[in-house]
């Protein structure tokens, strides 16, 4: 009786000892895996070392993108970023190299700058700077938004930015931001603007909603706009029956009356 009880107690003790050893080995393996991942990450060899690892194994060592944080979005949605990277939240990020992801994102027409950082054990941080449209550019009968550098943003719907001015002509895209900056100092004039045409890549013609065309000089556009504002304040020049106002020569004012109007 006592011998049988002793054997059972010894057997139970042996089983407990084996379970403890197995748990210890399992913990050691996980600690070793975590240390290996950290070491490979710091050495810059992580992507190559984990190619071919299964999704289940990747999750065990903390490579599942359970938290994807995206910062800096203004006109786009997080799904646009994930789609570009071929990711979905909760899926493994095995093989995703931050440098390659950065290049992919900066290749999008609406991204000016991107940073991609892994947050271990299971996160991803994407920081973006979007291109900000400053004007509509019409070329060959088609309209696209352009940013301050003249880069076209074809992924944005121009209808969402109806408040932005329209520019046209060869070279208008590259000079749109400079013109908008000048006109922003003259809101009364900007509110009357229908479109601005770049002439011979050298200067601007402004067409107002009234039909008046204002010819700006090649240089000192700011001074010419200030002169125009003074003429409006003193003489209401923009409200008169004038078809053409030539400001290319600051020493004199040349204007043409509307058809059918005297003088």
User: 226-257: per-residue pLDDT in tens?
Assistant: 999 999 999 898 998 889 999 998 888 887 87
Element (H, E) at 25: helix 2-43
d(CA 93, CA 205): 53
Please list the pLDDT of the chain residue by residue as tens digits (263 residues).
544 445 554 544 444 444 434 444 444 434 434 444 444 444 444 444 433 333 333 333 344 555 778 999 999 999 999 999 888 766 677 667 889 999 999 999 999 999 999 887 767 899 999 999 999 999 888 899 999 999 999 999 999 999 999 999 999 999 999 999 999 999 989 999 999 999 999 999 999 999 999 999 999 999 999 999 999 999 898 998 889 999 998 888 887 876 755 43
User: Is 0.95 surpassed by the pTM of this model?
Assistant: no
Return the structure tokens found at 102.
Answer: 């950065």
SS3 143: strand
Name residues whose C-beta falls within 8 Å of residue 121's C-beta, 6 or more positions apart in sequence: 34, 61, 62, 63
193, 222, 196: which is closest to 209 by C-alpha? 193
């Amino acid at each position: 009786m006592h011998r049988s009880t002793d054997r059972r107690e010894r057997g139970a003790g042996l089983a407990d000892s084996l379970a403890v050893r197995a748990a210890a080995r399992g913990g050691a393996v996980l600690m070793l895996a975590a240390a290996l991942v950290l070491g490979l990450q710091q050495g810059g060899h992580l992507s190559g070392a984990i190619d071919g690892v299964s999704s289940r194994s990747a999750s065990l060592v903390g490579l599942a993108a359970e938290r994807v944080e995206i910062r800096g979005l203004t006109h786009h949605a997080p799904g646009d970023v994930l789609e570009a990277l071929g990711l979905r939240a909760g899926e493994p990020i095995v093989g995703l190299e931050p440098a390659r992801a950065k290049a992919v994102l900066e290749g999008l027409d609406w991204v000016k700058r991107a940073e991609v950082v892994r947050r271990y054990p299971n996160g991803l941080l994407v920081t973006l700077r979007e291109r900000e449209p400053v004007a509509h550019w019409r070329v060959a009968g088609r309209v696209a938004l352009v940013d301050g550098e003249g880069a076209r943003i074809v992924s944005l719907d121009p209808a969402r930015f109806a408040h932005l001015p329209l520019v046209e002509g060869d070279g208008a895209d590259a000079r749109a931001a400079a013109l908008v900056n000048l006109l922003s100092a003259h809101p009364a004039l900007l509110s009357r603007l229908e479109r601005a045409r770049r002439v011979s890549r050298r200067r601007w013609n402004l067409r107002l909603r009234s039909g008046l065309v204002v010819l700006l000089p090649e240089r000192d556009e700011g001074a010419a706009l200030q002169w125009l504002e003074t003429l409006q304040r003193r003489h209401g020049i923009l409200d008169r029956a004038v078809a053409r106002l030539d400001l290319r020569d600051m020493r004199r004012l040349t204007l043409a009356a509307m058809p059918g109007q005297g003088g």
